[in-house]
Amino acid sequence: MTNLHCNIAGIDSINPFWLASAPPTDKYINVKRAFDAGWGGVVWKTLGIDPPVINTSSRYGVHHDRSRGILGINNIELISDRPLAINLAEIEQIRREYPDRVVIGSMMAPIEKSAWQELAVKIANSGVHGLELNFGCPHGMCERGMGSAIGQVPEMVEQVTRWVRQAVDLPVFTKLTPNITNILWSAEAAQRGGCHGLALINTVNSITSVDLDLMAPTPTVDGKGTHGGYCGSAVKPIALNMVAEIARNAETKQMTISAIGGIETWRDAAEFIALGASGLQVCTAAMLYGFRIVEDMKAGLQNFMAEKGYAHLDDFRGKAVANTVDWNDLNLNFDSKAFIKQAQCIGCGRCHIACEDTSHQAIRFDTNSQGLRRFTVLDDHCVGCNLCAHVCPVPDCIEMRTVDNGQPRLTWPQHPKNPLRTDVPVSKNTEV
C-alpha cells in the first residue's frame, strides 16, 4: 500500500500537493473547492498591509505552442487586493471547516521590521500552520521595494526571515525568486535567517509577446504593457535545476524544500521529489485545468510508487540527487548510438533533416523501388546527441543504445587533454 501522507517542515499534510499562493487561493470559496477536490493544503494569496493594492485589467499574457497549447503564462498581478481583515476571517473559517488541511499564510511588507513582524503576528493569529515570505514577485511590488527587490539581496533575505522568526512561533518558508544569478546565495541567506523551509520558484521575469497592432507588450493595459512573471510548464526546467542546486549543496542539502514551478502531472511531482523536494506547490496547472487535476496527480504518483515498491514518499525522496553531478564528473568515454526501429518509422524524415542540416550527417536517406523512404543511422558518424530521438514524432521509434566500447570511465579531470590534469589516474571506478 502506498501512502502520500507527508511532513513538510514540521507540518503534517495528507498529501504533498498544495496550491501555490495565487488567484486559486485568493478567497474562501476557491480554497473550499480546492479542499473538496482533494488538495492537501494551500498557500493563501499573498497578504500585505492595508490599504490593499490595486490590480490592473488585463493581467495575463500567454505563450502558446503552435496548436494553441499553453506552454507558460505571464502575469502582472500584484498581491491580494482584498482587505486583510476579510482574508484573515476567511482563513479562520476554512481552518475550522477543514481541520485536516494545511493553510499557509503568504505575506509581504515594506522593508521595515515592525511592518513584517506586526503582519506576521496578525496572520499567525488567524490559525495558519505556517508563513511563507514572498520575496519573489518580479513586477509591481518590487518597484515599491518589496518582492524580488528583497529576494535579490541575500542580506535582506536573511534579515527579513530573521525578523519573522523572532515574531512568531510557526514554521516559516522563505519563497525565493529565480531572477538571480545564483540561487544558493539566497537559499543560504534564508537558512542563516532561520527559515524552516524554502519555497521555490516564484515567477520568472518575462515579456511573453508583443501585440504588433498596438505595438506594446502583452498583456496590454490601455495600450501599454510591462514585464511580468512567467510560470507554468515552461519554467519547470528552471525550477528543477534550482531545487537540485540546493539539494546537492553541502550547506543547504538538509533544508526542507517546497518545490514550485510548472508542476502539471504526477511525473513532474515525482521528479521534484526525486531531486529532494518534501512538498509540491501548483498554480498555473490548476488555473488552466481546474482543481480536479489533483486527482490524476495523486493517482499517478501512487501508481508509480506501487510499481517501484516505494511505500512512502521518503522512500524515493532525493534519490536522483547523487546522480546530479557537475559536468566535469560525467564519463567522457560513455558512448551511445541512435537506432531507428523501422517497423515504427513513418518516414517523415525529421530525424534525417535535423541531423543532416544541423548535426553530424549520421542518418542516411534511401528510397526503395516502391518509392518508400527509409532512414538508417550511420554509426561511424553518430555522436549520440539525441536530437533525432527528440524531433521524431513517434514515441520510442528512435532508441539510444549504449555501445560497449570497452573503455574505462574517464572524467574531464582525468582526461589526458585536460591541460590542468596533474596526476589523476584513469579509473575504472563507476562510482560518482
Ligand X SMILES: Cc1cc2nc3c(=O)[nH]c(=O)nc-3n(C[C@H](O)[C@H](O)[C@H](O)COP(=O)(O)O)c2cc1C
Give catalytic residue positions.
Answer: 137
Min dist CB 204 to ligand X, Å, is 9
Cβ neighbours of 293 (radius 10 Å): 21
User: C-alpha angle with apex 242: 241 to 247, nearest 5 degrees?
Assistant: 95
Closer to ligand X by Cβ: residue 136 or 154: 136
Binding site for ligand X (CB under 6 A): 20-23, 45-46, 73, 75, 77, 79, 106, 134, 136, 175, 202-203, 231-232, 235, 260-263, 282-285
Closer to ligand X by Cβ: residue 293 or 355: 293
Closer to ligand X by Cβ: residue 158 or 268: 268
Min dist CB 406 to ligand X, Å, is 45
Min dist CB 252 to ligand X, Å, is 19
Q: What gap in Å lies between CA 271 and CA 285, rounded to an integer?
A: 16
Closer to ligand X by Cβ: residue 75 or 152: 75
List helix spans (H) across 171-265: 183-193, 236-247
Which long-range contacts link 161-164 to residues 24+ away (Cβ below 8 Å)? 161/133, 161/189, 161/190, 161/193, 161/194, 161/195, 162/193, 162/194, 163/113, 163/116, 163/117, 163/120, 164/107, 164/116, 164/117, 164/120, 164/131, 164/133
Q: What gap in Å lies between CA 79 and CA 59, rounded to an integer?
A: 12
Closest CA to 426 of 417, 413, 418: 413
Closest CA to 253 of 178, 195, 186, 321: 321
Q: What gap in Å lies between CA 328 and CA 332, rounded to an integer?
A: 9
Closer to ligand X by Cβ: residue 40 or 261: 261
Place of cell 514554521: 171
